[in-house]
Amino acid sequence: MSIDRQTNSREISQKRAKELKGRIADYLDAAREIPTGFREWERIKENQEKIMEVLGATSDDWYSWKWQLRNRVNDAEKLSKLINLSSSEYEEISTTGSRFRWAISPYYLSLINPDNLVDPVRLQCIPTIQEYYDTQGDQDPMDEEHTSPAPAITRRYPDRLIINITNQCAMYCRHCQRRRNIGEVDYHAPREDVEKALEYIQNNPEIRDVLITGGDAFMLENKTIDWVLTELDRIPHVEIKRLGTRTPVTMPYRVDDELVEILSRHLPVYVNTHFNHPLEVTPDAREACLKLAGAGVALGNQAVLLHRVNSNPHVMKKLNHELLKIMVRPYYIFHAKEVRGTSHFRTRVEEGMEIMEHLRGYTSGLAIPTYLVNAPKGHGKTPMLPEYLIGMGRNKITIRTWENKVFDYENLEPGGGYE
């Protein structure tokens, strides 16, 4: 290449680079203002000190998941000592609490910025009166009651299924889709139900992927997790095991050394968790995720699109970036289902589509999850995809790029030309 041509292509490249810089300017401005668990850590630690004092906790208590679980906050009286509540909020929490169960781990509570009434963590864990007065939505929109061919099993797909191992969680999400199972008491599936579920898997050789969830799979004792994984490892056609847990978000101290050691003995193991906002990605959450990743566990995230919590393209992009930094691969964004008591979290599908448009091309493919709607009656996860294939001719297609540039693209048979 001549010097002249080199200079020229460099200039063109530099012009293009400048244009690309412009494509990200609005995100960079917005992202500076988005609170993350790392940026807010000092404030969170102050909250932690205060909560520990009120609950009379030692530092050993705080980092013990059993202590966190035993000390979940679940009444307005106790909550009012830990976070400022107006008298109307106090009443509303009590009213809603009489219908819907709630409980918040002290750790998750410490993430809340008390000065922000629409704090994304607060919205997810503290009950509001909207839940109580919600008359819309179904108790069981996915018809899970009719997709259970054996005790504790939900089967909706040809080659994989769920074992619902417990209804317990470290924190009961206000947007929970399985509210009807949460009830008032913690309930682990009885051993004989799990045995029947394992027997079903044993007898159905097309099942190659078993997802243990609930509730929260990490609410089980380590030895129970070890037992279930050992039993699954005995079934030759079970190729992979997955566990669903929100504890890296709500109670990261659950990921103790013994659990990590157990999981590492049962690879391949995949853990899917549920971060919804960058504020939840804290140094302690990072430690839990890095321990799991270090043991060889592959981590994925299933976010739920929630009005005011994360229904914003910049917040979602920032969340996905924060997740990749702690070795968690964004897997799904779920469109929130119609569940009684959650309609204040509802978004329109257009909002989800806009988020997806703001991801592809603008950021790493690794930071792009699939956006899903759950079809009615348990007919399965259904991807909502922006259209990039916008025309289909005989030997050509028309495509649209992430920047909305339109191109024709040849689409030929192997080896052959036209005709």
Ligand X SMILES: *Cc1c(COP(=O)(O)O)cnc(C)c1O
Q: What residues does 76 pair with on adjacent strands?
A: none
Q: Which is nearer to ligand X, 124 or 177 (CB)?
A: 177
- Quick one: tokens of 162? 């769920």
Q: Which residues lie closer than 8 Å to 104 by C-beta, 6 or more apart?
A: 72, 73, 74, 79, 125, 126, 171
> Does residue number 111 form part of the binding site for ligand X (CB under 6 A)?
no
Site string for ligand X, 56-95 (x = CB under 6 A): ----------------------------------------
* CB closer to ligand X, 123 vs 211: 211
Min CB(302)–ligand X separation in Å: 8
Residue 55 CB-density burial (10 A; 0-12 exposed, 13-18 middle, 19+ buried): middle
Q: Which among 2-10, 44-52, 159-167, 315-323 is the span making contact with ligand X, rule CB under 6 A?
A: 159-167
Segment near ligand X (CB under 6 A), from 122-130, 152-160, 290-298, 389-397?
152-160
Mapping DSSP onto H, E and C, the string for 335-387 reads ECCCECCCHHHCCCHHHHHHHHHCCECCECHHHCCEEEEEEHHHCEEEECCCC
- Distance separating alpha carbons of residues 367 and 31, to the nearest angstrom: 15
CA distance 322 to 281: 7
- Whole-angstrom Cα distance, residue 298 to residue 271? 6
157 lies in the binding site for ligand X (CB under 6 A):
yes
Q: Does 162 bind ligand X (CB under 6 A)?
A: yes
Binding-site size, ligand X (CB under 6 A):
8
The least CB distance from residue 153 to ligand X, in Å, is 9
339 binds ligand X (CB under 6 A): no
- Establish if 303 lies at the interface with ligand X (CB under 6 A): no
In the complex with ligand X, the residue whose CB is nearer, 109 or 323, is: 323
Chain residues 185-204 in contact with ligand X, contact rule CB under 6 A: none
Please report how close the Cβ of residue 194 comes to ligand X at its closest, in angstroms: 17
Residue 160 makes contact with ligand X by CB under 6 A: yes
Exactly one of 360, 381, 396, 400 binds ligand X (CB under 6 A); that residue is 381
Q: Which residues contact 324 (CB under 8 A, 6 or more apart)?
A: 330, 364, 366, 367
How far apart CA 249 and CA 124 sit, in angstroms, is: 12
Residue 79 or 161: which CB sits closer to ligand X?
Answer: 161
- Contact flag: residue 161 with ligand X (CB under 6 A): yes
* Closest distance of CB 299 from ligand X, Å: 14
The per-residue DSSP string of 48-83 comes to: HHHHHHHHT--HHHHT-HHHHHHT-B-SHHHHHHHS
Among 83, 85, 198, 211, binds ligand X (CB under 6 A): 211
- Among 156, 178, 241, 274, the residue binding ligand X under the rule CB under 6 A is 156
CA quadruple 104, 109, 112, 114: dihedral positive or negative? positive
- In whole angstroms, what is the distance from residue 201 CA to residue 106 CA? 38
Neighbours of 47 (CB within 10 A): 20
Q: How far is the CB of 154 from ligand X (least distance, A)?
A: 4
- Binding stretches for ligand X (CB under 6 A): 154, 156-157, 160-162, 211, 381
